[in-house]
Amino acid sequence: MAMTLGELADHLGASLDGDPTHNITRCAGIESATSDELTFLANARYRSHLDTTKAGAVLIKPGIERPEGLATLTCDDPYFAFRNAVIALQGTRVHPEPLDGDDAGRSSRAAIHDTATIGEGTRVHPFAVVERGATIGRNCHLYPGVWVGPEATIGDDCILFPNSVVHDSCVLGDRVTLHSGTVVGNDGFGYATHAGEHHKIPQHGIVVIEDDVELGGNCVVERAAMGETRIGRGTKFADLISIGHGTTIGPHCLLVSLVGVAGSVKMGHHVVLGGQVGVAGHLEVGDCVQALAQSGIVTDIESGTAIGGAPAISADTAKRNALAGTNLADLFRRVKKLERAASKSAGE
């Protein structure tokens, strides 16, 4: 839907400098936006783009100087305001109705056990399977190939994209999203090595995914051997992430692609792990920890710490080490030259 800049300013709680009657139809990036599109500038390093953008208006922070004639919407958090503008102008993802769905939105080609409970408004697509005793809440979407195991529980407004899996007795809260290929509750990696052979330890625990969690494609959250593996409310995963059995991840964490967390880790709230971070087992990672990409966490990390490197150290030191290591060959030659000079001097 189209909105005028005046309407957008009111909706976003922003201060408008420009023509309040100008129509905006969509949102776009600052380099590609056109006169009927809204964009944003959240980082002052990209201030120069304001001089060349063709956008109809730009969301900016207070204190950013704007070129003459460029309409701006000023607010404290332009990126979040841009998110809200996208929803207002373009809505959210629309989920299709199941092929050959009945009046309740359930495909005749889905397999739903007689003892399963499915809430009102839930859509079940072809070739989804809901096993005995499973409970699905209201207004969910189960796409083709989804498997919900026996006695599993899924809350309201959940989205399970194609080929995602919730194993037996695992629990998903409300508004949980599992992207394609993600598995919740497969067996943990637990073996007892005896006489040179690895003997499987039965994994009798479960996984609990709290409200408002989103797991990207091809993620795996292992069930605990005993007790539970838990992902805290509001936490978001990118793709290709593995969480070991018995681990607890706190609320509102962000894990970027290719993160691996071993078993029995306790992670606090608002932790951010960059791409390819690895966390060894049985550690405690405090609240609000930030780990740079490819960090290797092998010891407990205190709350509020920024870390990097492998093994992980303070982020500032890790960055200095990385810069120092960009020309080790030249440093090696200089050291050898000094050694030869010192040896020659000593001989004289």
| Contacts with 122 (C-beta within 8 Å, 6 or more apart), sequence order | 105, 106, 136, 137, 138, 139, 140, 141, 142
The pLDDT value recorded for residue 346 is: 79
Domain with CATH 2.160.10.10 in the chain: 111-320
Confidence at residue 347, expressed as pLDDT on a 0 to 100 scale: 72
196-206 pLDDT, tens per residue? 999 999 999 99
Judged against a pLDDT cut of 70, whether residue 62 lies above it is answered with: yes
Percent residues over pLDDT 70 in the chain: 100
Number of neighbours of residue 120 by Cβ within 10 angstroms:
10
Who has greater pLDDT, 92 or 348?
A: 92
Every domain of the chain with CATH number 3.40.1390.10 lies at: 3-90
Angle of helix 78-90 versus helix 5-12 axis, rounded to 10: 120
The pLDDT of residue 1: 84
For the sheet containing 254-255, what is the strand order?
123-124, 141-142, 159-160, 177-178, 214-215, 236-237, 254-255, 272-273, 290-291, 306-308, 313-314
**What's the CATH number for 111-320?**
2.160.10.10
Task: For the full predicted model, state whether its pTM sits above 0.85.
Answer: yes
CATH class of the structural domain 3-90: alpha beta
Single out the catalytic residue among 125, 167, 179, 245: 245
Q: What is the pLDDT of residues 162-184, one digit of tens each?
A: 999 999 999 999 999 999 999 99
pLDDT tens-place string over residues 7-36: 999 999 999 999 999 999 999 999 999 999
Q: Are strands 228-231 and 206-209 parallel, antiparallel or unpaired?
A: parallel
245 counts as catalytic: yes
Q: Which of 8, 6, 1 is nearest to 39 (CA)?
A: 8
Neighbouring-strand partners of residue 296: 278
Closest CA to 25 of 7, 42, 52, 41: 7
* Spatial separation of the C-alpha atoms in residues 235 and 237, rounded to whole Å: 7
pLDDT above 80 for 158 = yes
Q: List the one residue out of 16, 4, 13, 9 whose CA is nearest residue 72.
A: 16
Would the pLDDT of 327 be above 90? Answer: no
